[in-house]
Structure 1
Amino acid sequence: IGRMSELDMDKMYHDLMRSHGFRPVSSSAPTATLLDDVAAVPSNMPSGTPSAIPVTGPTTIPSETLNENNYTPIAWEPQPDVDPNAPPPPQPIYPAYTGQFQSGPAARAYRKRNRIAPKSLASDVERVKRYGRMYWVRRIYESMIDISNVSDSANSIHRTRFMVEQAFNPLDLEAAAHHVFDEALAVHERGWVRPTIYHKKVVRGKLTDVSEKCLERRLARICLCLQQKKATVDDALRGGVTLALLCDNPEARGFTKLSNNAGNAKRGERLRAAKE
C-alpha cells in the first residue's frame, strides 16, 4: 500500500466500500468528507479506516414509500476504470433518454409496429392458415433434420450439430418449426416489424423474392433452404431478425449463408498459409 498513489488508494477504498453495499451519494445529497483532523474521526470507527468517511451507507427505502420515481438499486455495481488524464469522452450521437414508454406493453407495441407493408398479393394465405399448419410444420421439421444434401462447409458447427453429434432437443426443433410457419405467414399478413436497417430489399436478379404471391411457395423455398443449409436452421432456432430474414426472402438468406461459407474458407486458407 505504501507504494500506491493517492488515486489508486482512493479507488481501492471506494471499490471496498461498494463491495460492502455502500453506494455513491447523489449530487443533491452530502458527499464524502475528507477529515484531516484525526480527532474528528468518530471514536467507534474501526482502525485502519481511510480518512474519506462516507456520510451515507446502503439505505433501503421503506416498501410503503417505494415507487418507480424513487427506486434505486441497492446491489453493488462495478465501476469502469477511468483515466483522469484522458480527454473528455465523445458525446453520443443519439438523443438523451425521453421516457416515452411508461410500460413494457407500450414499448412492445412500438417495437412490433409495421415498418414495411405485408406481401398481401398471395391468394392462398387463408387456406394454408386454416388447413396447412400440421402439414407444413412436419415438412419444416423434416427439412431441418435432413442431411442428404448439406452444403455447409466441412468444419461448420452447424453441419456438425446435424451430421455428427446431436446437439438439440428434438422438441425444440419441432417447436421452432411452428415458429417458422407463423413467421412465414406473418410475411403476408403482418409485414416487416423489425428495424428497417436489417431488412434486405432485393429488386432484381436471382435473389429477388419469388414467393410474393404464394405462401405455399414461400414455405417450400424455406424448406429447401433448411434442408441444404443448416446455418439457416440456426436462424430458425434463434428467432428474431435472423428468422424474419429467412422467411421474408429464403433466396437471399440462403445466398448469404453460401457467401459466408466461401468467406470462411478463404480466411481459413490464409490462416493456414500464414502458419506455414
Structure 2
Amino acid sequence: CFLTPMLKRLKDIDLSDMQSEVFWQWVEGESTKNYAIDPLSPFRVRGGQRIPALYDFSTATDFYSYILTGLSFLAHQLGLGGLVIILDEVETITHTWNYSDYTRGLNFLEGLTRSALNCAELKRIESRMLHNRVRPTPYSYREPHLLLILATTPTHGLRGLEELKNLIDKKTYLRNFTEAEIEVIYDNLLEVYKCAYPHFSIDASRRENIFKAALQRSKRELREFIKFSSEAFDWFRLSSAENTE
C-alpha cells in the first residue's frame, strides 16, 4: 500500500523530474494535500505517483501509523530491535479549542498505541475505516516492532485522554517531591534568578511567604511551583523598581 510503491519509485527516481520534489516531501512526512486534492494536478500524489497522499487537514491516522509500524518492521528485518518513538508533553493535545482537532489527535494516539501493542484488529482493513474518498490502509504493517513512550504531566477529567491511558498497562508514575526537596529547588531557583538580575534581593520574611504561597498554589507540581515563584520574583522586582523612581 505504501512502502512497496515508495521503494519502487525510489529505485527509479529521476532527480530532474518535478515529481521527485513531491516524492521527497512525502518521504519527509510533510503534508502532500496540495498535490492530492486537485484531480487535474500533474503532480497529484495518488494516481500520478501511485502512492497515497499524506494529509494534515483531515483524518489520516491509518496512513501515518502504517508508515511508522512499517519502518519498525524494516528496522527489525535489518537486525535492529525496532523503532522507538518518544512523545513528550502529550497533555498538550488538550490545548486546543477545536474539538475536531482534539478528537483527531486522540485518534492518532490511540491508533499508534494500539499498533504498538500489536492489536490484531488493526492489521486488516474494514469498511468503516473509509475516509476522504481514499482507500485506507491497515494501521499496522505486518508484525510491528514499535516501542512507544508517552510522557505527560498529570491531567484529570479529560475523558479521551483517560481512555488512552487505560490502554497502556506499563505505566511509571513519578512521585511528588517532599517539601524539603522543593525548598532546595526553590533556593537554587532564587540563586539563578539573582544571576539574571544581580540587583534583585528580598528579605527572609518575603522569601518565606513566596515559598509557602507557591507550595500551596502548585500542590507540589514542580512546573506550577517554578512558574508561580518566578512570576512572584518578577512582581517584586518590577514593583520595587517603580517605587524607587
The two structures have a TM-score, normalised by structure 2, of: 0.21
**More helix, by proportion:** 2
Question: Which structure would you say has the larger RCO, counting Cα contacts within 8 Å and 6 or more residues apart?
Answer: 1
TM-score of the two chains, using structure 1 as the length reference: 0.19
